[in-house]
Amino acid sequence: MRIKEHPILNFQPGKKVAFTFEGKKLEGYDNEPIAAALVAAGIKVLSYSLKLKRPRGFFCAIGNCSSCLMRVNGLPNVRTCIVRLEEGMVIERQD
Amino acid sequence: MKEYDIVIVGGGPAGLAAATTAAKCNTSILLIDDGLQLGGQLIKQTHKFFGSSEQFAGIRGIDIAHNFIDELSHLSNVEVLIQSTATGYYEDGILTILEGYNGNKLIKVRPKRLIIATGASENMLAFINNDLPGVYGAGAVQTLMNVYGVIPGKSVLMIGAGNIGLIVSYQLMQAGIEVKAIVEALPCIGGYWVHASKVRRLGIPIYTRCTLKEVRGKDEVQGVTICDIDNKFNFIPGSERELSVDTVCLAVGLSPLSELLWQAGCEMTYIPELCGYVASRDENLKTSRDDIYIAGDVSGIEEASSAMLEGQIAGLNAAASLGLYHENYQKLNHTFHKQLAELRNNTMSENIIRGIKKATLVEGGSHVCSS
């Protein structure tokens, strides 16, 4: 979900881009990080913890906490909160 | 390999102020930041700053960031690298940087002086299910809603009534998101009353001596239990209340992001008043190493106005230590120090001043004439 009206800020969305998450087609903007586009699309679980497989969500937004590490175009451990979304990206939860 | 007079790690308020100040001293500068854009926390701060006009009073953080970024773009002696993480500063004087998409490009540079302005990271809090999606750091909530216009959740419990907890609660309401309550473990509100009054006027309850006991939910936050606590921070049985929220926002303090300083071998001290391990420094923010300066939250958790002044002091003096004096060096250095002292001249800064005293290197003093 996205903010529609704001008393101070005027959001300027970038170019609309299509990407896939776990095989599902989604849309976001090319001026936002991958993880923000996922949250906007209502996806809260970005990864699972290694040992206990507990769900992990968006947490720090500065590339520090490892909660949002995902596989992007086949490359694992991408810090999706600080990598910009691009057209055609293939995003997956990593094992 | 490229050499620079000054490399600045961190493009938040401290790093930006350091870069623009040092740039006026005829230095070659590289400014690096690991984010998608420069500005650090400033780009998510929609509130107007306090203080005097020199400290950007009345201007919103986001506009301060844009002004700095605009100024930098006109300076030919400053290079900027974003989405780049400084990973180590080695004995041969080389700083390694991983650039770009998942850090797949290694860059090596040789700085004559390094200014570390890496800022801070948010503290975690122990409670049941604190790892569930829907539990966010306050900075992350600000990034989502104020930078990208994305709604983090529909209904929020804020943990912490310091300035960050209060300001972010107000910003959530501005974005049309409900804040159910603010809980604060201490007996009183930690932030400025002006911020507390704003959220109270919106009808958000602030519960003091109260904390989050448990988050419920399977794959995401579905509700919380808050509970009163006694003088020893123990839960008071029977005082539990359940709230229906889908988001928990943590504003329980910050810790300096000091890994590079540790790795580079700077003398580090644990100073509770400054919220963690910080580098010992002289009054012009030079660490125990002659080639490394610090500025902003990494030198002790404070706020953006003081971070910018520290950036100016570090930038000015790092340049001066290379013999590259600003034409008004004495006057400017005096002014920056005076402004910083004025900013800290209030009861809320007493702790910070005590902490800085403990962290200040007494012997040796500054390498340049101190005025």
Domain ranges of chain A: 16-92
Cβ–Cβ of A57/B139 closer than 8 Å? no
Q: How many domains does chain B have?
A: 2
Task: With respect to residue B200, please indicate whether it lies within any of the assigned structural domains.
Answer: yes
Statement to judge: residues B105 and B135 lie in one domain: no
Q: Hey, what amino acid is at A90?
A: V
Binary contact (B152, A39; C-beta < 8 A) = yes
Assess if residue B365 is contained within a domain: no
The verdict on B9 and B109 lying in the same domain is yes
Query: Would B369 be classed as within a structural domain?
Result: no
Residue B367 in any domain: the answer is no
| Type of residue at B169 | S
Q: Give the model's pLDDT for residue B244.
A: 97
Q: Which of B233, B250, B267 is the last residue of a domain?
A: B250
User: What value does the mean pLDDT take over residues B249-255?
Assistant: 96
Phi, psi of B167 (to 5 degrees): -65, -45
Q: Are residues B174 and B161 in the same domain?
A: yes
- CB-CB contact of A82 with A62 (8 Å): yes
SS3 A32: coil
Position B366 in a domain: no
- A2:B149 CB<8 A: yes
The whole-number pLDDT of residue B370 equals 40
- Provide the strand spans (E) within chain B: 2-9, 29-32, 78-81, 84-89, 95-99, 105-116, 120-122, 135-137, 155-159, 178-184, 206-208, 210-216, 223-228, 241-243, 247-250, 254-256, 268-271, 276-279, 292-294
Radius of gyration of chain A (CA): 13
Regarding whether B236 and B131 lie in a shared domain, the answer is: yes
Shared domain check, B134 and B97: no
CATH code where residue B276 lies: 3.50.50.60
CB pairs under 8 A between A and B: 114
Residues from B in contact with A at Cβ < 8 Å: 34-36, 46, 60, 62, 83, 85, 101-102, 121-122, 131-137, 139-140, 143-146, 148-152, 174-176, 219-220, 257
Q: Residue B174 is part of which domain span?
A: 125-250
| B11, B116: one domain | yes
Nearest to B114 by CA among B5, B38, B258, B263: B5
Q: What is the mean pLDDT of residues B361-365?
A: 66
Tens of pLDDT along A29-85? 999 999 999 999 999 999 999 999 999 999 999 988 999 999 999 999 999 999 999
How far apart are the C-alpha atoms of B350 and B194, rounded to whole Å? 19
As its CATH architecture, domain A16-92 has Roll (3.10)
Does B109 share its domain with B136? Answer: no
Domain contains B41 = yes
B140 closest CB neighbour out of A2, A7, A59: A59
Looking at B250, B282, B298, the residue that finishes a domain is B250
Element (H, E) at A21: strand A16-21
Q: What is the pLDDT of residues B126-172, one digit of tens each?
A: 999 999 999 999 999 999 999 999 999 999 999 999 999 999 999 99
For CA atoms B353, B354, B356, B362, the dihedral sign is positive
In a shared domain, residues B117 and B130: no
Residues B19 and B110 in one domain: yes
Chain A residue numbers touching B101 (CB-CB < 8 A): 78, 83
**Neighbour tally for B244: CB within 10 Å:** 11
Question: What are the φ/ψ torsions at residue B94 (nearest 5 degrees)?
Answer: -100, 135
Q: Among B41-45, B49-53, B146-150, B318-322, which is the least confidently predicted range?
A: B49-53
Do the domain assignments include residue B364?
no
**Domain match, B117 and B258 both:** yes
Give me chain B's average pLDDT, please. Answer: 94
Q: Which residues of B touch A7 (CB under 8 A)?
A: 174
> Is residue B69 pLDDT above 90, yes or no?
yes
Measure in Å the smallest separation between the Cα of B138 and chain A Cα atoms: 8
Last residue in a domain, options B250, B280, B314: B250
pLDDT at position B367 over 90:
no
- Please spell the DSSP secondary structure of A49-77, one letter per residue: -TTT--EE----SSS-SSTTEEEETTEEE
Instruction: Kindly state whether residues B105 and B139 are assigned to the same domain.
Output: no
Sort out which chain A residues have CB atoms less than 8 A from B152's CB and list them. Answer: 39, 58
Residues A2-31 have pLDDT tens digits of 998 888 888 888 999 999 999 999 999 999
Report the pLDDT value the prediction gives residue A4, as an integer from 0 to 100: 87
* Contact partners, residue B36, CB within 8 Å, separation at least 6: A33, A82, A83, A84, B82, B83
**CB spacing of A1 vs B151 below 8 angstroms:** yes
Please answer whether residues B292 and B286 qualify as being in contact, where contact means their C-beta atoms are separated by less than 8 angstroms: yes
Q: Annotate B67-89 with b (16+ C-beta within 10 A) or e (fewer).
A: ebbeebeeeebbbbbbbbbbeeb
Q: Distance (Å, rounded) from C-alpha B156 to C-alpha B136?
A: 10
